[in-house]
Structure 1
């Protein structure tokens, strides 16, 4: 299984495989055709409430990750996570995000859960 994270603003690479946008909101200033996104499972992203809570600086990354994992256990999100896992079992998958530090974001939680 090959899953990696890249910033959506970086140009696509031949080894990206299936490109999955894992942000709830479309990245600012990026044309949809330039992003070359194959899938955009919005239900797999952190809830608006959790996203706002974390960006407001009200809690630690560890607490954010714990709450996000609880959201991912809900049926809709769990099904979408299984879908991405199936894609990764079939070939490379690149999770795309606009965050500046993907290693401290929801994308890192997804990689860990998919791995």
Structure 2
């Protein structure tokens, strides 16, 4: 069974429907207490590199370049297989992130990457 994967800002209210909650930011989000985050896991090794994050700088014109770079980083990340196996029995996973921009967020890129990876495992 492959999980359904969702994304959500960590500042949004906790919901039981979130399923397995994973923070996918490299840095801990400002103003969030660990006990209030309702996290199952903090997977900072799936976050984009500091260099990629700084280069993107949440500048919309840099989005496509960032996506390409982050996908290459994910391709080279030896932890991907570990997480795919670890999470495959979850019915749903919510990838949590802190960025204000909900359209151009690394969590969306990671969501798409994981969905494709799970799909490829079925074949």
User: TM-score normalized by structure 1?
Assistant: 0.87
Measured on the aligned residues, the alpha-carbon RMSD in Å equals: 2.0
Corresponding position of 1:2:
4
State the Cα deviation string for residues 29-83 of structure 1 (Å, max 9, x = none): 1100001111111110000011000007495211100000000011434335524
**Conserved 8 A contact 1:22-1:42:** yes
Distance 1:97 1:75, change over 3 A: closer
1:73 counterpart = 2:75: yes
**Post-superposition shift, 1:104?**
0.7
User: TM-score normalized by structure 2?
Assistant: 0.82
Query: Which whole-Å CA distance do the structure 1 matches of 2:82 and 2:73 have between them?
Result: 12
Corresponding position of 2:41:
39
Query: Which whole-Å CA distance do the structure 2 matches of 1:108 and 1:32 have between them?
Result: 23
**Conserved 8 A contact 1:3-1:88:** no
Please point out which of 50, 53, 78 is paired with 2:52: 50
**Post-superposition shift, 1:89?**
4.7
Please identify, of 98-107 and 63-72, the stretch whose mean Cα deviation from structure 2 is larger. 98-107
- Structure 1 residues without counterparts, runs of 5 or longer: none
Give the secondary-structure state (helix, strand or coil) at the position aligned to 1:104: coil
